[in-house]
């Protein structure tokens, strides 16, 4: 038997890939030979191969083996000398032990070709299987379909795993895997349920050497995880062992973890046909329904519709009598670089009081989030009634450029939010709507605003809310004297800037699509009067009542007249207001008023009804 034990062990299965490829790739070779009973022991991960065949090696068998057992030469340098026409193995097993659990993964019919200077042209495994024991949900087993990749840079991934960048050096980000394919797998998780996955493809994965070897970071993370489990098992308080030395070690670990975010680029890819049946743990006296879930497609990077970020399509779920689905979920434009930078700064000053941190700086670049085609069917609230159905056509939030974490522009869209009106609430408004024949609400809303730095203005381009078949209100306007100080990290300065803002103009449009008629008819029914009598009463109230409240100004008269015409013949009511002062109407102008009607002396007001 041929066995090799590396000098540094790790508890993580993530090292398996590098270990496998370093075992079965070879350097500028001309000789052909076979290795039997190959074993690599990584402590809690053991790799076995009964037979490995090497073709096209210029190294003899013993020299080839020396590449994996030698310690005088760095691993990356040895990897760079690996060349081969082909390496194959009928079977390869990975046995991993984590706590009481033991997992065995077997890959079959492995073939690596065109290996030059540590770069593997193509690799493939025809099939595989997974078994696991020791979990609380019982034994698990599964089957793997074909797995393949190309352009794997063994030398670079070995450097990332075992080397660290020099002081002040910023290593180049280099491609590690060109393309990756996995045709699917199925997994029986015992009492926890079952899952399967269709084809997965990915491309463009890259990595660079960080401030610490990746193996060292992973080993420390594994040790920290084991320590947490040990403390939880012994019911020991989390802060019971906080010596200065330990606190410094945790700080350094935090910095190491943050460095991982700079070490990788994940490229693009997609996964299709995820199917899960999950059974929750049983609880005494509680009936827990299994959850069935399907996802048609998950994608990231350029494989998404937005060509960046993440997207999920065709989500469906069911549990008992409840079911639902989401056509698509996606986000793009998100970036966490600023968050990582601020976390590093916080770890560099561990004694800094928490109230001195500006937490707005920890807000990531927000980008765009979009959900479409949401539907949920829930059991009826009242026995014998129809199930509750809720749906949403589109929800989207899009943030623009940010200053100190705060977006300078924001757009929010909610389209076709359909929700039922339930009789079980007993609310008077719900009863009135049902009496008016409104059994459900179909709501839409939109907000679009932006800060214009050159003008020191916030333009409210759109603010709207409405219900299909009822009414819609739309507004737009401009806020002036909005300086950059509004986004300052100094909260007091930001508050002063907010108080100094002024209102320059406002336009409001109310469109009736049947709500006014329903309100009048409902009032007539409740008061047992004719609809026309109620309409005349509402018209008189709008005319005389508003005139009495708003005062005798021309603007007030215009609003009262337009409102009465709108009630008499509901259509579209438009109101336009603008400050007479070029600087706008500010808070100081409002608080100095002795009567509300004085506002009409400071604004130009127009109203119309069509």
Q: What is the pLDDT of residues 332-385, one digit of tens each?
A: 988 887 788 888 778 877 777 776 777 777 888 889 999 999 999 988 776 667
Q: Which two tokens stand for residue 342?
A: 């601020």
pLDDT of residue 37: 85
Q: Is the pLDDT of residue 296 over 70?
A: yes
Find all residues with CB under 8 Å of 39, minimum gap 6, and list them. Answer: 1, 2, 3, 4, 46, 47, 48, 49
pLDDT for 118 beyond 90: no
For residues 122 and 109, what is the distance between their CA atoms, to the nearest angstrom? 14
Spatial contact of 423 and 383, defined as CB atoms under 8 Å apart:
no
What's the length of the chain? 610
Q: How confident is the model at residue 315 (pLDDT cuts 50, 70, 90)?
A: very high
Chain segment 196-245, per-residue pLDDT in tens: 999 999 999 999 998 888 877 777 776 666 565 565 555 444 445 555 65
Q: Report the predicted TM-score, pTM, of the whole model to 2 decimal places.
A: 0.79
Cβ atoms of 44 and 98 closer than 8 Å: yes
pLDDT, greater one: 433 or 149 = 149
In this predicted structure, what is the pLDDT of residue 388? 85
pLDDT mean over 580-596:
85
pLDDT surpassing 70 at residue 181: yes
Is the per-residue pLDDT at 468 higher than 50? yes
Q: Please determine, for residue 30, whether its predicted confidence score (pLDDT) is greater than 70.
A: no
**pLDDT confidence of residue 590:** 83
- Alpha helices by DSSP H, listed for 145-235, are 154-162, 214-233
Neighbouring C-beta atoms of residue 605, cutoff 10 Å = 19
Q: Which pLDDT does position 271 carry in this prediction?
A: 96
Confidence of residue 14 (pLDDT cuts 50, 70, 90): very low
> CA separation (Å) from 85 to 57, 89, 116?
7, 14, 8
Residue 12 has pLDDT above 50, yes or no: no
Res 59 pLDDT > 80: no
Q: pLDDT digit string (tens) for 477-487?
A: 999 999 999 98
Quick one: average pLDDT of 469-492?
91
pLDDT confidence of residue 1? 41
Average pLDDT for the chain:
84
Q: What is the reported pLDDT for 7?
A: 37
pLDDT band for position 15 (50/70/90)? Answer: very low
Pairwise CA distance, residues 64 & 56, whole Å: 12
Please say whether the beta carbons of 460 and 410 come within 8 A: no
pLDDT in tens, 539-561: 888 888 887 788 888 888 888 89
Is the confidence at residue 386, as pLDDT, over 80?
A: no
Share of the chain above pLDDT 70, in %: 86
| Main-chain phi, psi angles of 330, to 5 degrees | -155, 155
pLDDT at residue 2, as a whole number:
43
Quick one: pLDDT band at residue 42, thresholds 50, 70, 90? low
pLDDT bin (cut points 50, 70, 90) of residue 13 is very low
The answer to whether residues 165 and 209 touch, using CB atoms and an 8 Å cutoff, is yes
Task: Report which of 407, 401, 332, 412 is spatially closest to residue 367, judged by C-alpha positions.
Answer: 332
Q: What is the pLDDT of residue 214?
A: 82
Q: Where are the alpha helices (DSSP H) in 381-444?
A: 428-435
Which long-range contacts does 383-386 make (Cβ < 8 Å, 24+ apart)? 385/423
Spatial distance between the Cα atoms of 205 and 568, rounded to a whole number of angstroms = 67
Is 82:117 a contact under the CB 8 Å cutoff? yes
Q: 275: Cβ–Cβ under 8 A, 6 or more apart, which residues?
A: 195, 196, 197, 293, 294
3-state secondary structure 78-142: HHHCCCEEEEEEEEEEEEEEECCEEEEEEEEEEEEEEEECCEEEEEEEEEEEEEEECCCCCCEEE
**328: closest CA among 261, 421, 396, 233?**
396
Task: Give 390 or 64, the one with higher predicted confidence.
Answer: 390
Sign of CA dihedral 414, 416, 422, 428: positive
């Amino acid at each position: 038997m041929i066995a090799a034990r590396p000098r540094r062990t790790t508890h993580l299965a993530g090292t398996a890939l590098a270990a496998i490829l370093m075992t079965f790739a070879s350097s500028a070779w001309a000789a052909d030979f076979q290795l039997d009973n190959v074993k690599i022991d990584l402590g809690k991960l053991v790799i076995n191969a009964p037979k490995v065949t090497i073709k096209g090696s210029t190294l003899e068998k013993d020299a080839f083996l020396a590449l994996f057992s030698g310690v005088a030469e760095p691993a990356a340098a040895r990897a760079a000398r690996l060349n081969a026409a082909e390496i194959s193995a009928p079977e390869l097993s990975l046995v991993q032990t984590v706590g009481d659990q033991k997992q065995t993964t077997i890959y079959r019919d492995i073939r690596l070709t065109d290996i030059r200077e540590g770069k593997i042209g193509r690799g493939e495994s025809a099939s595989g299987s997974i078994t696991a024991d020791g979990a609380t949900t019982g034994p698990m087993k599964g089957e793997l379909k074909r797995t393949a990749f190309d352009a794997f840079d063994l030398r670079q991934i070995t450097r990332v795993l075992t080397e660290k960048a020099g002081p002040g050096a910023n290593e180049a980000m280099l491609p590690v895997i060109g393309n990756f394919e996995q045709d699917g797998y199925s997994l029986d998780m015992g009492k926890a349920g079952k899952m399967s996955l269709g084809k997965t493809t990915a491309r463009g994965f890259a990595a660079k050497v960080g401030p610490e070897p990746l193996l060292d970071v992973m080993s420390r993370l594994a040790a920290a995880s084991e320590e947490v489990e040990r403390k939880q098992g012994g019911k020991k308080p989390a802060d019971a062992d906080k010596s200065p030395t330990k606190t410094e070690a945790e700080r350094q670990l935090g910095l190491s973890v943050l460095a991982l975010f700079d070490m990788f680029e994940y490229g693009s890819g997609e996964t299709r046909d995820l199917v899960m049946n999950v059974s929750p743990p049983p609880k005494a006296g509680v009936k827990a329904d299994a959850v069935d879930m399907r996802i048609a497609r998950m994608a990231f990077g350029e494989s998404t519709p937005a060509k960046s970020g993440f997207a999920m399509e065709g989500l469906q779920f069911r549990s008992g009598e409840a079911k639902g689905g989401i056509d698509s979920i996606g986000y793009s434009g998100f970036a966490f670089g600023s968050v990582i930078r601020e976390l590093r700064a916080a770890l560099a000053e561990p004694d800094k009081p928490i109230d001195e941190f500006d937490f707005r700086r920890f807000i990531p670049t927000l980008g765009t989030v979009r959900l479409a085609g949401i539907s949920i069917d829930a059991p009826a609230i009242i026995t014998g009634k129809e199930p509750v159905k809720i749906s949403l056509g589109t929800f989207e939030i899009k943030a623009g450029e940010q200053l100190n974490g705060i977006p300078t522009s924001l757009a929010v869209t909610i389209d076709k939010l359909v929700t039922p009106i339930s009789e079980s609430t007993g609310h008077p408004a719900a009863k009135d709507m049902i009496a008016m024949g409104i059994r459900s609400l179909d709501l839409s809303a939109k907000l679009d605003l932006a800060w214009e730095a050159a003008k020191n203005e916030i333009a409210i381009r759109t603010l709207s809310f409405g219900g299909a078949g009822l009414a819609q209100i739309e507004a737009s306007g401009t806020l002036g004297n909005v300086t950059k100080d509004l986004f300052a990290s100094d909260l007091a300065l930001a508050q002063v800037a907010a108080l100094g803002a002024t209102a320059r103009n406002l336009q409001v449009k109310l469109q009736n699509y049947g709500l006014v008629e329903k309100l009048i008819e409902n009032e007539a029914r409740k008061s047992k009067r004719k609809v026309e009598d109620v309409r005349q009463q509402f018209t008189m109230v709008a005319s005389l009542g508003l005139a009495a409240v708003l005062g005798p100004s021309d603007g007030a008269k215009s609003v009262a007249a337009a409102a009465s015409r709108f009630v008499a013949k509901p259509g579209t009511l438009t109101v336009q207001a603008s400050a007479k002062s070029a600087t706008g109407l500010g808070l100081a102008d409002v608080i100095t008023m002795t009567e509300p009607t004085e506002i009409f002396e400071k604004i130009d007001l127009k109203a119309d009804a069509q």
